Amino acid sequence: MAKIPKPKNSLLFYYGLAILILAIFNWLGKPYLEEEKVKTVDYSTFMEMTEQKSIERIEMDENHIIFKGTDGQKYQTGPMMDPMLVERLKTSGIPFAAEIRETPSFIMSLIVNWILPIIIFFALGQYMSRRMFGGGGGPGNMFSFGKSNAKVFDPSTATIRFSDVAGEDEAKENLSEIVDYLHNPNKYTSIGASMPKGVLLVGPPGTGKTMLAKAVAGEASVPFFSIAGSEFVEMFVGMGASKVRDLFKQAKEKAPCIVFIDEVDAIGQKRHGTVMGNDEREQTLNQLLTEMDGFGGNSGVIILAATNRPDSLDPALLRPGRFDRRVPVELPDLEGREEILKVHAKKIKLTADVDFHTIARMAAGASGAELANIINEGALRAVRSNRSEVCQADLEESVEVVIAGYQKKHRILSDKEKRTVAYHEIGHALVAARQSGSAPVQKITIIPRTSGALGYTMQVEEKDKYLLSREDLENKIATLTGGRAAEDVAFGVITTGAANDIEQATKLARSMISRYGMSDEFGMVALETVTNQYLGGDTTLACSAATQEAIDRQVIALVKKQYETAKGILLENRDALNRLSDYLYEKETITGEEFMQILNQFPADDTPAEKEAVTIEPSEATGEPDDSETIYL
């Protein structure tokens, strides 16, 4: 089990300092704090008491007369212009004196005036330096300007191997050459070949780029320097550049070794040549370019860098001799997903019914990190239900948690709303089922989720699809519009529930026309280009305003046409729509099989004669019987 790290020593240092300061103040302030209570009286009382000789002793300074009565009480009063006072006191015989304030000793004044301010300034300085330079490195960090704060992993502690990275076979194959070179450089140098100095791992977030880099170091048994691009960028110009210099100096000393720069786009972005550029970032990049040129191809230092924005990198960084090899680390395919699930499932206890193939199919488009999360969510769900093993239902539910968030047990939909959602979801499923080539429906639910979804229809492809025909895409749009169409057909009322469907349908239709060359008017002309492939796929239009208008018109026409198709399908299957929606309304979650079982009672053109009751065993129908006991976070 992982130990919880203890707080750092530096914290103890600060606690100690605070206690010391408190102790000193306490010591200094003690005499004053302990002073007895003094009663303030007027001058006439003082004179009276003097005459009555009811005073033991008098002390005075220019602002106070302090005297102790025979009753033991201390009094004070303000001085008056009373030239006869001394005379009177003398005759009364009461001892009196001008008060002599104790001057602090030499050591005391040394502490208060010199040592204490120095300690306070030093502590403040430490604190500020920690905030400014991002901590790490313990006390003394104030003096480590320009030192790279790369983490260095010793080969003996490296735990990640290629076998831990599931899927990604092409990337592993590509990188195993580097491992081979680090093991046996002579094989390459004897023939005159030189290794690439830099390898750029590109791909969407969470696909295992960092893991692959660590696995290369683990396999090659060489030291591994790891630093994030953003750690170079400092507040002061030139600091990042000196960190780069320091990093390469250290790396050369430890060669053969691997330097891994994560999120390299933080320093490697294109330089724009504007006057108000980011000087610090540009200087850091320049230094990186210079350093990469500065060592020979066979010096034994291999630089791996990862990014999910390769298009934003400076071309100088990508030219041969620097990052001359690019290794794509893509989202895993069906087989890859299954493997990743299995790798992560090794750590947890499973029941025998777990079928990773189904989970992998359900999690289409998930990254390695998401798959790892699915396994963990499944394990947490099993713990919540007090079970000692993770079952298939746990994993299926956790796919849905990752896709749509947790179930919202307490969102109370009105009866009418619930019925509308049921019709909406059945609308999607029915349109999909009545079109050829649509992915089979796996599950339909109208339990609201924390992502804001009031329900959803999960369609799962049998296999990964790499090519989609025009018909496939049109069918997808029709399926997406099916929800709204069902509301319209059933109630003649449309609701806000279709916002997400509308967004997706429009995006698909726009891509068909502007990117996939599927419009008769424009043919094979790229009117839009994708700029941010791995992070959401933003696009920029590259056409005239008039063409934009024409694109908009075609997108609208395409979506409208598919909406009419969907509506037509639902009108033809009106009875099936009603029956299925009622069933879903009652059960809240139904499986694809239940859906098909009911739908198959109706012929494709849906004649009302077929309306006899459909009986389904309750245990079969509920899908996840233990759902209601689960407590969600």
Q: Is 208 in the site for ligand ADP (CB under 6 A)?
A: yes
Minimum gap (Å) between residue 356 Cβ and ligand ADP:
13
Q: Is 218 in the site for ligand ADP (CB under 6 A)?
A: no
Q: Is 206 in the site for ligand ADP (CB under 6 A)?
A: yes
CA 388 to chain CA mean position, Å: 30
Stretch of 72-80, 165-173, 402-410, 623-631 lying at the interface with ligand ADP (CB under 6 A): 165-173
Stretch of 206-214, 243-251, 399-407, 419-427 lying at the interface with ligand ADP (CB under 6 A): 206-214
Stretch of 364-372, 570-578, 610-618, 623-631 lying at the interface with ligand ADP (CB under 6 A): 364-372
Active site residue 425: yes
Q: Is 167 in the site for ligand ADP (CB under 6 A)?
A: yes
Q: Three-state SS for 307?
A: strand
Minimum gap (Å) between residue 458 Cβ and ligand ADP:
23
List 207, 420, 581, 591, residue binding ligand ADP (CB under 6 A): 207
Q: What backbone torsions phi and psi does residue 501 show, to the nearest 5 degrees? A: -60, -45
Q: Rounded to an integer, what distance in angstroms lies between the CA atom of residue 201 and that of residue 212?
A: 9
Residue 283: CB partners within 8 Å, gap ≥ 6? 237, 238, 240, 241
- DSSP code string of 323-388: EEEEEE-PPP-HHHHHHHHHHHHTTS-B-TT--HHHHHHHTTT--HHHHHHHHHHHHHHHHHTT-S
> Which pair of tokens denotes residue 608?
């009302």
Q: Is 343 in the site for ligand ADP (CB under 6 A)?
A: yes
Applying CB under 6 A, what is the total number of residues that bind ligand ADP? 17
Kindly report each contact of residues 246-254 with a partner whose C-beta sits within 8 Å and lies 24 or more positions away, as own/partner.
Answer: 246/146, 246/147, 246/148, 247/148, 247/150, 248/291, 248/294, 248/295, 248/301, 250/148, 250/150, 250/152, 250/225, 251/225, 251/301, 252/295, 252/299, 252/301, 254/152, 254/223, 254/225
Q: Is 300 in the site for ligand ADP (CB under 6 A)?
A: no
Q: What is the contact mask toward ligand ADP in residues 59 to 88, using x (rule: CB under 6 A)? A: ------------------------------
Minimum gap (Å) between residue 207 Cβ and ligand ADP:
4
For the segment 301-330, give every residue that binds ligand ADP (CB under 6 A).
Answer: 306
Stretch of 68-76, 365-373, 410-418, 514-522 lying at the interface with ligand ADP (CB under 6 A): 365-373
Q: Is 268 in the site for ligand ADP (CB under 6 A)?
A: no
Quickly count helices (H) and strands (E) in the chain: 23, 16
Question: Considering only CA atoms, which of 284, 289, 285 is closest in space to residue 235?
Answer: 284
Indicate which residue of 168, 280, 338, 425 is catalytic: 425
Q: Is 264 in the site for ligand ADP (CB under 6 A)?
A: no
Q: Is 340 in the site for ligand ADP (CB under 6 A)?
A: yes
Q: Is 211 in the site for ligand ADP (CB under 6 A)?
A: yes
Minimum gap (Å) between residue 401 Cβ and ligand ADP:
17
CA 5 to chain CA mean position, Å: 22
In a 13 Å sphere around the CA of 121, the CA atoms on its Cβ side amount to 6
Q: Is 368 in the site for ligand ADP (CB under 6 A)?
A: yes
Known catalytic residues?
Answer: 425
- Please give the residue ranges that form the binding site for ligand ADP (CB under 6 A): 165-168, 205-211, 306, 340, 343, 368-369, 372
